[in-house]
Amino acid sequence: MKVAVLDDYQSVAADMADWDSLPSGIDVTFFSDHLADEDQLAERLTDFDVVMGMRERTPFPRSLLERLPALRCLITTGARNASFDIDAATDLGITVCGTPGAGEGPTELTWGLILGILRKIPEEDRATREQGKWGLHVGASLQGKTLALLGLGHIGSLVARVGNAFDMRVIAWSQNLTAQRAAECGATLVDKDTLFSEGDVVSVHVRLSERTRGLVGAHEIGLMKPSAILVNISRGPIVDESALIDALQRRAIGGAALDTFDVEPLPAGHPFLTLDNTLITPHVGYVTDDGYRAFYSGVVENIRAFASGEPVRVINPEVLEAGNLRGPV
């Protein structure tokens, strides 16, 4: 059995789990480079029985899956992957498995981005180190400001807790949020327009789906205060990227702190890379030591279970129920 571990950007996957515990005859190859071209990716993976992708770093649409005749098991880190075509995998008899996660990396990064952009931490660091200057900016404080949360699930509720600790006013909205749930999380339920018009920090914490794609558009961004910042550590397509770029270029809002984007890695020359009112990180919300160890250990467990004929954490159980498997499990 040949296994491909993709998206090992930091070249650490080999040290994050006990790969030697896999049965003999399983050959694992780690790839740290990112291939965006489907032809190149199909050529690379054509002989692999099992492929692991790190979250949404490498998409697996139907067009690619159909070009991988040997592929029998596709593994994503985490419990879901919006860039894997699960229906296509099921149609083709490919078992898709997920892994556990660990830690609160996205919550922690949210506050790192908020504090970083409001207190101008990256600019002050560069000015001090590289320019010999000392104290260029007057930062914005959090106490008494309004934290507006688009989504109040697990991560959103923890972000709210920290906002309350900073003595902020916390408001929230999402399509299914109730006043009771908001109150339990130390927030006040408001309507969507109020969320964007009153927030000093507007932070996105909903999952990407058909009903949340483009949820933050030109209308919502147009309601924001000139001093407000938008934070997105969830998924890029939840925010209309063109509308956000336009607002940033016109300085219609105070700035944006972003960990996720429509296309990743960001293409060379993308406006987000040059705008001085953005703070950018390369989708690292979940990239922590604890998180990686949980992910990769889960991948090893998945490979071992699949090789034994009893796959675990199967995301598309229909493929097993139908018996429409590509090759033996």
Burial 2-13 (b: 16+ CB within 10 A, else e): ebbbbbbbeeeb
Q: Which of 56, 104, 220, 264 is catalytic?
A: 264
Structure tokens at 80: 């879901």
Give dist(CA 316, CA 65) in Å, integer.
15
Which of 44, 55, 205, 235 does the annotation list as catalytic? Answer: 235
Length of the chain: 329
CA distance 85 to 67: 14
Helix axes 105-118, 154-165, angle to 10 degrees: 40
Q: Which of 73, 39, 37, 72 is nearest to 58 (CA)?
A: 37
Interatomic CA distance for residues 116 and 187, integer angstroms: 23
The beta strands (E) that lie in the chain are given as 2-5, 27-30, 50-53, 73-76, 95-97, 146-150, 169-173, 188-189, 201-204, 229-232, 255-258, 278-280
* Beta carbons of 89 and 96 less than 8 angstroms apart: yes
C-alpha closest to that of 73 among 57, 89, 59, 62? 89
Is 251 designated active site? no
- Which of 72, 205, 283, 326 is the catalytic position? 283
Active site residue 283: yes
Q: In the annotation, is 205 catalytic?
A: no
CA pair distance 326, 49, nearest whole angstrom? 10
- Which residues form the catalytic set? 235, 264, 283
